[in-house]
Amino acid sequence: MSDRVIPLVDQRLSGLVARVPERAIPATGLLGDTLGRPLRDLRISVTDRCNFRCSYCMPKSIFDKDYQYLPHSDLLSFEEITRIARQFVAHGVQKIRLTGGEPLLRKHLEILIEQLSALRTTEDKPLDITLTTNGSLLRKKAAALKAAGLQRVTVSLDGLDDAVFRAMNDVDFPVADVLDGIAAAQDAGLGPIKVNMVVKRGTNEDQILPMARHFKGSGVTLRFIEYMDVGATNGWRMDEVLPSAEVVQRIHAELPLVQLDPSAPGETAERWGYADGTGEIGVISSVTQAFCSDCNRARLSTEGKLYLCLFASQGHDLRALVRGQANDEQLASAIGQIWQGRDDRYSEFRASLPPDASTGGRRVEMSYIGG
C-alpha cells in the first residue's frame, strides 16, 4: 500500500487572491459562470480534523501524529462563516451542507447552525441546511443539532460487516455505534436520512447487497459513491473503481429496480426505486459519468478559501477580505466575479488527462474542503 502513496504537496499553503472588482457586481441571485451554471449549493468545511482514518480520504501514513492541522486562528469563526454564507445566499445559494473533516468535532457547531438557519434565500425561503458526518458522534449530538435548526443529515457508512467497517475507518470503530447514531438522528427528526457508501472494488464490494437489504424499506436512502481520484494521498487507481452501473446491476438481480426522474437540477445522484415500492437508492458516478454540465456547487474551506471544483488545486482567499477592510457589498462582488470566471469541469476531462494529472499530485485533500 505505502508504495502507492504520493508525497503530499501542501496545497493549503497556496491560494489565489480574491479581489474586489472596480465595478460592483450586485447580488441578484441570477449569477452564472462561463458555462451558464448558476450558484445554488455551498459546502462549508468546518474542520480539517477527523477521528477516522478512511484510507481513501485520510490515510494513516500521511495523517499521522506529526501531521500539521490548521491552527485554530486560521479557521473561520462562526461569525465569519455566516457573513460569507450570507453573500453566497444573496447570489442564489439555496442549500448549505456542513462538512469537514468530521464536522461534529467542531465545538459548539449548533451555534453556527442557528446563525445559518436565520438566513433567507432570495425568494425569502429558509435555506436547506444539512450536514455530512461519519455518524460517530450523532447519538450525543442529534437532538441539539435538530433544535438549532438542522433539517437532515447524511451519514457515511462503508459496510455492515463489523470487520470490514473497522478496517475501512482504520481506527477500529464499531459499525454498531454508527447504526445507533443513525437511529438517534431518526429519533430526533433529522430526516429523510441519506447514507453514503464509497465502494472500492476488492475492499467492500461484498457489502453492497447487505447494505441494500438492510436499508430497503427503512426510510433511509442509501447512495453508492464511486471511489474518486480526489486529493493526492489515497493512491487512487482506476481498477479499484466499481462503476455505478455494476452496482445497480448487482442489486437489481436480487431486488428489482426501476429508474426514477431526478428530483432537482444539478443533483449528483441518479435515483433508482425498488420495484415493490419500498424506497429508493442513489448512485453517484463521479468517475464513470461526469455531471459537470450542471454542477452548481461551491466549496468553502476551513480557512476561508473558495474552491470552484472538488479537483481544483487552488482556492480563492476570502478570509483575507473578511479580515481586511471589505464591506459586505465588496465581498459579494468579489464572490460574484470569481463565480463568473469559473470554467471548471474536471470530471469531463479525466480520461484524457496525462497519468500524473489523474493521480492528482497537486490537488487539495477531501478532508480539507469536504465532500
- Least distance between ligand SF4 and beta carbon 54 (Å): 3
Of all residues in the shown chain, the one whose CB is closest to ligand SAM is 371
Residue 347 binds which entry of ligand SF4, ligand SAM, none, CB below 5-8 Å type-dependent: ligand SF4
* DSSP class per residue in 40-82: -EEEEE--S--S---TTTS-TTTSSTT--PPPGGGSPPHHHHH
Residue corresponding to grid cell 462503508: 158
Binding mask 99-138 for ligand SAM (x = CB under 6 A): xx-x-----------------------------xxx----
Q: Is 352 in a helix, a strand, or coil?
A: helix
Q: Does the protein bind ligand SAM through residue 233 (CB under 6 A)?
A: no
Nearer to ligand SF4, 103 or 304 (CB): 103
Nearest residue to 179 via CA among 222, 216, 138: 138
Inter-CA distances, 236 with 9, 35, 99, 267, 360, Å? 16, 29, 22, 25, 9
Residue 214's binding partner among ligand SF4, ligand SAM, none (Cβ under 5 to 8 angstroms by kind) is none
Strands 152-156 and 194-199: parallel
Out of ligand SAM, ligand SF4, none, what residue 196 binds, judged by CB under 5 to 8 A for its kind, is: ligand SAM
Contact letters (x/-) for ligand SAM, 307-346, by CB under 6 A?
----------------------------------------
Which of 115, 134 has the CB closer to ligand SAM? 134
Amino acid making up residue 47: T
Near ligand SAM by CB under 6 A: residue from 81, 228, 283, 326? 228
Segments of the chain assigned E as strands: 16-17, 41-45, 95-99, 128-133, 152-156, 194-199, 221-226, 257-259, 270-274, 280-284, 297-300, 305-307, 316-317
Nearer to ligand SF4, 34 or 249 (CB): 34
Contact call for residue 220 and ligand SAM (CB under 6 A): no
- Residue 71 corresponds to which cell in the numbers above? 491552527
The residue within the footprint of ligand SAM, chosen from 145, 208, 225, 321 (CB under 6 A), is: 225
**Closest CB 276 distance from ligand SF4, rounded Å:** 32
- Smallest distance, ligand SAM to C-beta of residue 193, A: 12
Transcribe 157-188 into DSSP letters: ---SSHHHHHHHHSS---HHHHHHHHHHHHHH
Q: Is the dihedral of CA 120, 186, 112, 171 positive or negative?
A: negative
Instruction: Output DSSP code: residue 124.
Output: S
Q: Which residues bind ligand SF4 (CB under 6 A)?
A: 50, 52-54, 57-58, 100-102, 134, 156, 291-292, 295, 297, 309-311, 344-347, 367
Mention every residue, 6+ apart, whose C-beta is less than 8 A from residue 74: 302, 303
371 binds ligand SAM (CB under 6 A): yes
Binding pattern for the stretch 37-76 against ligand SAM, x by CB under 6 A and - elsewhere: -------------x-----xx-------------------
Interface residues with ligand SAM (CB under 6 A) are 50, 56-57, 99-100, 102, 132-134, 156, 196, 198, 225, 227-228, 230, 234, 366-367, 370-371
